[in-house]
Structure 1
Amino acid sequence: MKRLTTMIVAIAAVFALLTGCGSNSAEKDNTLVIGVDDHFAPMGFRDKDNNLVGFDIDYAKAAAEKMGKEAKFQTIDWSTKESELSSGRIDLIWNGYTITDERKGKVLFTKPYLENAQVVVTLANSKIEKINDLAGKVIGLQSLSSASDALDKNPIKSKIKSVAEYKDNVLALSDLKTKRVDAVVIDEVVIDYYMSKEKGKFKLLKGSLAPEQYGVGVKKGNDELLKDLQKALDEMNEDGTAAEISEKWFGENKVLH
């Protein structure tokens, strides 16, 4: 009798373990883990209550809902974003992620959903007016970002004094305010947000370094996820969901069709 009882307990334990594994698998299948930089306003950032908010946050939540999934956001070091994706720790890179030829070799991209440009910002009272004035100056930018790529491709790169690299744009702008750097290369959509919040603090130099477009990054080989995601994004364009989110954050519909 004792042996029978032991066997029943063992079988129950195995059944419970299998049930638990099935539950975790089902939960994983129903969740999209999205890698974000939470210092990238207005795309994805922390509000005063430390809640993760922004255009891309709302956009991703709405797309996940269309797909019958739940969006789970994971803050990542932006300099390791492709490694996070290829390792499977995240399912998507979605936070002002610029489409470049180099990145196309590492990830799959959705169609572009937003226009952007890399621009140069300095303090409002600076004597720097145009990009050629950056000669001999110290320039700040986010490490391993498209801002770095844009500066590398511009002739002014060979004339500047040095480049200071930062983990995020907030730190770069902080050093600009204290004059540790003379200017910052940054996404236009990001600096537009900060200039609206701190009026009279910054000014943009004439012209941009490089126009670009944002897309969502999907792991190479995961074509089915890319297909499902793009279908959801297309539906959001058609039913007005994307326009509503854009108007909330930008005051107009900037989403590409």
Structure 2
Amino acid sequence: MKWQTLRKALFGAALTASIALLAACGNSTTSKTSGTFKDDLVTKDTLTIGLEGTYKPYSYRENNKLVGFEVDLGKAVAKQMGVKAEFKPTKWDSLIAGLGAGKFDLVLNNITQSPERAKSYLFSDVYTYSHYVLISPTSKPITKIADIKGKKLGESTGSDNAIVAKKYGATVVPVENFTTDLQMIKDGRIDANINAAPSWYAYKADHATKGLTMTELPSSEVAPAKVSGLLNKKSTKLQKRVNKALKVLRKNGTLKQLSMKYFGADITK
């Protein structure tokens, strides 16, 4: 009788221990899979943002200070998320590679959505729409997208502008920035440049454009690009949190205010 009582007691203790162990394992699994967007950050409590810093009005230096539409946007997104923003100015051809290498959490650099990029990266929600323009010399104007076939166009390597130029048969000459593009057109070293309309208007506000002709490309020929932030494929929690912040900024008018400040127009729709 005593042995049966002891055996029951031992069995009960073993059962209790097993249940406790299973519960602990369950809690451990839950904690690993739940987490928050902060688990995706490169640096604790910091949203590390990659951008060029030479692309006015998106991001550029003024009095040695980094400013611009996407700089202010990055700060506003980070504030909504309860973290600080840290910017890493990087040349265009190293931005995407840097994101893949884990140097940034997010790239804000007038990047448009494309099926090719979607294979390797995540997009945030759209925050602006970018209509294309064709810039050429006044002496030899090119006013139709079909006419760039066989022409030399200066574009940033791997940019959306370069993709459009190649699609319509142009020979792309690698050029690092918009200002250099325009000077090369004036000098006759390239035939034209395809770019975002906001970039042209921002440049025109501060620089002489004599000798240059700008033609807005109809949406029916070249669809406006959807501009989004770019994130690592694994950063799904961060993507959701960034999108939540963008929704708030769109709803409370911040996104439109920033657009009007830097472009003089609402390009968020």
Could you say what secondary structure the match of 1:84 adopts?
helix
1:237 to 250, 264, 267: 250
Whether 1:191 aligns to 2:200 is yes
Shift in Å, 1:128:
3.2
Contact 1:36 1:44 (8 Å CA) reproduced: yes
Contact 2:58 2:69 (8 Å CA) reproduced: yes
Could you say what secondary structure the match of 2:265 adopts?
coil
1:116 to 122, 130, 149: 130
State the TM-score, normalizing by the size of structure 1.
0.80
Shift in Å, 1:107:
0.9
Shift in Å, 1:136:
4.7
Q: 1:210, 1:168 → 2: CA distance?
A: 23
The number of residue pairs the alignment matches comes to 225
Q: 1:136, 1:153 → 2: CA distance?
A: 11
Moved more, 74-83 or 84-93: 74-83
Find the counterpart in structure 1 of residue 83 from structure 2: 69
Q: 1:180, 1:165 → 2: CA distance?
A: 12
Q: 1:214, 1:90 → 2: CA distance?
A: 18
Contact 1:82 1:106 (8 Å CA) reproduced: no
State the TM-score, normalizing by the size of structure 2.
0.77
Could you say what secondary structure the match of 1:129 adopts?
coil
Contact 1:33 1:91 (8 Å CA) reproduced: yes
AA aligned opposite 1:223:
T
Please identify runs of 4+ aligned residues in structure 1 that moved more than 6 A. Answer: none
Q: 1:92, 1:148 → 2: CA distance?
A: 22
Find the counterpart in structure 2 of residue 9 from structure 1: none
Shift in Å, 1:199:
4.6
Shift in Å, 1:251:
2.3
Q: 2:265, 2:223 → 1: CA distance?
A: 23
Alignment of 1:1-257 (within 5 A): 28-47=43-62, 49-154=63-168, 157=169, 160=170, 162-201=171-210, 202-205=212-215, 207=217, 209-256=222-269
Q: 1:194, 1:132 → 2: CA distance?
A: 25
Shift in Å, 1:50:
2.2
Larger radius of gyration: 2
AA aligned opposite 1:204:
M
Contact 1:150 1:210 (8 Å CA) reproduced: no
Which whole-Å deviations, capped at 9, do the CAs of 1:45-70 have from their partners, x for residues lacking one? 122x1211111111111111111111
Could you say what secondary structure the match of 1:249 adopts?
helix
AA aligned opposite 2:73:
Y
Q: CA RMSD in A?
A: 2.1
Q: 2:57, 2:129 → 1: CA distance?
A: 14
Q: Percent identity?
A: 28
Q: 2:236, 2:190 → 1: CA distance?
A: 43
Gaps of 5+ in 1: 1-25
